[in-house]
Amino acid sequence: MSGVGAGGAGGASGVGAGGTAGSVGTAGAGGVTGSAGRVTGGAGTGGATGTAGVGGAAAAAGSAGLGGASGATGSAGAAGAGGVAGSAGTGGRAGGPGGAGASGAGGVAGTAAPGGASGGSAGASGASGNAGASGAGGGAGASGAGGGAGASAGAGASGAGGAAGTGGVAGGSPVTEFTVGANTLLHYIVTGPDGNLWFTDGYGHIGRITPAGAITTFPITATGSCNPQGIARGPDGNLWFGAYGCSRIGRVTPAGTIGYFPPATGTIAPYGIAAGPDGNLWFTEYSSNSRIGRVTPDGVITEFPTPTAATWPEGIAVGPDGNLWFAETGSLGGNAAIARAGTDGSIKEFPLPDGNSGPIGIVAGPDGALWFTNSRSNEIGRITTAGAVVTFPVPTATSQPYDITAGPDGNLWFTEYAGNKIGRITPAGVITEINVPAVDSAPYGITAGPDGNIWFAESFGGRIGRITP
């Protein structure tokens, strides 16, 4: 925006007494002259120099004295105001102050007094401040104010922009954090059927947060905390979650009533969960038993073993082909794969080429492929429904990309558990990273919200984050 100029409105008229007209004020080099000054004729005195104009815009012409001559060239406006501070991303640190604008445009033209010649021409407004430079991982802050009207003629140079707020999104999208509580261990988050976000707390709660940030938590009443993990919206209008620590599938109504479904025999280790195309819920079992499972809306559980042993399945999602796709993290140094399951329980695995792979999160992308995080290899991967894989390295080393979701902007968004960042990757593979304001927060689950924003759970520190794409 423009700064406050310092050219002037014309002064008051004096009473001339037969003086000869002064010459018309001429434009300063590169800019313009200011307001009409005092008259040079022997008769009456011209008006005083006018006050500063706003924004370097042309002011009204100053008046020469009645019957007097026009004023000589008006003086230029004062130096332009400095740039204002760049805005921080919400929840980010404030941007630094903008640098002072260099000389702004010349003063605005004063108006001629009645009977006199016109004053100098209008000065040009100062240029707007440049956008602030991006902070580390952050986005640009708001631009500084432009230089105001400057001393002497000549257009003002741009005011320096404010520095980016730490944690701001590239392009100025803010990050906001909402505190759930200190004694929490937040995991996954999903949009519920009621227009709110629902999340799991490993210390024994299911939480709900409205798009405005109001938080309610519901205690898990089963024996122990149950360490709930993945959570998904079910076909029955409820939320379903994997009660990993107590061998059950959990269900929570939008009113917060929680129920549980144990397997008919044995134990399960439910981790990721997703609503399937067949009207059931499908889940992974993160254990050496290496199984996935299906649970009907009335709680009947069926399990299916993976073809390869010790695959440790984690994230699961419905693919564009109507199948279930899930990540097999595998043991360190082997068995890592992306797998596809039909609703009949048949499974096909696609081993990942990197022997150090460890995929965790997976989601259907806007391009007809599946996208996944590869935590051990520090990559984001893409796999077609035919099984062709390409990977893209995350810029921050050892960032441990964890969960991933499709955003409303046509990109994929992911958490960086060790990097303390949120990442965005375009379908072409271009990655941008954004700092999370809270230090060492370990971003975990992530989802697209009902409000068009991206929401994520911070495992340490008990916060839910919101970021505008």
Mean pLDDT by 10 residues, the chain (469 residues): 34 33 34 31 33 33 32 35 34 34 35 32 35 34 32 32 34 79 95 98 96 97 83 98 95 97 95 98 95 98 96 97 97 85 98 89 98 97 98 98 98 98 98 96 98 98 95
- Residue 461: how many other CB atoms lie within 10 Å: 18
Rounded Cα distance between 318 and 306, Å, is: 17
Which residues, 6 or more positions from 298, have their beta carbon under 8 angstroms from its beta carbon? none
Tokens encoding 332: 């360190």
The separation between CA 162 and the C-alpha centre of its own chain, rounded to angstroms, equals: 18
Q: Is the dihedral of CA 86, 410, 325, 331 positive or negative?
A: negative
pLDDT attached to residue 78: 37
For position 223, what pLDDT does the model report? 65
- The pLDDT score that the predictor gives to residue 327 is 98
pLDDT at 362: 98
In this structure, are residues 423 and 414 in contact, taking their beta carbons and an 8 Å threshold? Answer: yes
What is the pLDDT, as a whole number, of residue 334?
A: 74
In this prediction, residue 333 carries a pLDDT of 62
pLDDT at residue 12, as a whole number: 34
Query: What local confidence, expressed as pLDDT, does residue 468 receive?
Result: 92
Res 7: pLDDT: 35
Per the CB < 8 A criterion, the answer to whether 85 and 37 are in contact is: no
Residue with tokens 């956008």: 131
Instruction: State how far the Cα of 316 lies from the Cα of 80, in Å rounded to an integer.
Output: 58
pTM of the model: 0.66
> Could you tell me which of 393, 407, 410, 467 has the C-alpha nearest to residue 434?
467
Between CA 466 and CA 469 the distance in angstroms is 10
